[in-house]
A and B are shown apart, each in its own frame.
Chain A
Amino acid sequence: MTEETRTGVNRRNILKLTAAAGIVAGSGLLTSRAAFAQGKLSLKGKRIGISTAGTDHFFDLQAYNAQVEEVKRLGGEPIAVDAGRNDGKLVSQLQTLIAQKPDAIVQLLGTLSVIDPWLKKARDADIPVFTIDVGSVNSINNSTSDNWGIGKDLALQLVSDIGGEGNIVVFNGFYGVTPCAIRYDQLVNVIKYFPKVQIVQPELRDVIPNTVQDAFTQITAILNKYPEKGSIKAIWSAWDIPQLGATQALTAAGRTEIKTYGVDGSPEVLQLVADANSPAAADVAQQPAELGRVAIQNVARYLAGEALARETYVPALLANKQNVGEISRKLGIG
Chain B
Amino acid sequence: MLVDAPYYIPGSLAEPAPSNPQDPQASGPAYGQRVAALALRGGSLAVFIGVLVFFSVTAPFFLTIGNVGNVLGQSAIAGVLAIGLTIVVIGGGSNVVTGGIDLSLAANMGLSAAVYATLVQAGYGDPVAVIAALGTGLAIGAVNAAAITLAGIVPLLATLAVMNVVAGLELVLTNNTVVPASTELLLALSASGPFGIPVLAYVLLGFTLLVAAVVQFTPLGLRLYAVGEFPEAARAAGLPVKSFVAGSFLASGLCGGFAGILSVSFLSGSTTGAGDMLLPVVVTALLGSVFSRRLVPTITGTLLSTLFVGFLINGFQLLNISSTLVSGVQGLLILLVVSATTLLRRQENV
B268 adjacent to A117 (CB under 8 Å): yes
B61 adjacent to A99 (CB under 8 Å): yes
Which B residues are CB-close (under 8 A) to A205? 175-177
Binds B, one of A29-37, A82-90, A324-332: A82-90
Chain B nearest CB: distance from A177 CB in Å? Answer: 9
A114 adjacent to B268 (CB under 8 Å): yes
Interchain CA distance A77-B175 in the complex, whole Å: 41
Which A residues are CB-close (under 8 A) to B24? none
Closest to B266 in A: A91
Cross-interface CB contact of A99 among B66, B268, B323, cutoff 8 Å: B66
Interface residues on A, range: 20 to 34
B178 adjacent to A176 (CB under 8 Å): yes
**Chain A proximity mask over B55-79: 1 for CB below 8 Å, otherwise 0:** 0000001001011001001100100
Q: Does B239 contact A (CB under 8 A)?
A: no
Interface residues of A in 142-200 (CB under 8 A from B): 173-176
Interface residues of B in 238-281 (CB under 8 A from A): 263, 266-269, 271-273, 276-277
Closest to A77 in B: B320
* Given A86-B276, A95-B70, A99-B61, A114:B271 Cβ within 8 A: yes
A176 adjacent to B67 (CB under 8 Å): no
A81 adjacent to B317 (CB under 8 Å): yes
Which B residues are CB-close (under 8 A) to A86? 273, 276
B317 adjacent to A99 (CB under 8 Å): no
Closest to A207 in B: B176
Q: Does A217 contact B (CB under 8 A)?
A: no
Q: Does A116 contact B (CB under 8 A)?
A: yes
Closest to B276 in A: A86
Interchain CA distance A92-B323 in the complex, whole Å: 12
Which B residues are CB-close (under 8 A) to A174? 177
New A-B contacts (14) at CB < 8 Å, excluding given A82-B323, A99-B70: A79-B317, A85-B273, A86-B273, A87-B271, A92-B70, A92-B74, A92-B313, A95-B74, A113-B268, A117-B190, A175-B177, A176-B177, A176-B178, A207-B176
23 contacts between A and B (CB under 8 A): A79-B317, A80-B320, A81-B323, A82-B322, A86-B273, A87-B267, A87-B273, A88-B263, A91-B266, A92-B70, A96-B67, A96-B70, A97-B317, A99-B61, A100-B61, A100-B318, A113-B268, A114-B269, A117-B190, A173-B175, A176-B180, A207-B176, A207-B272
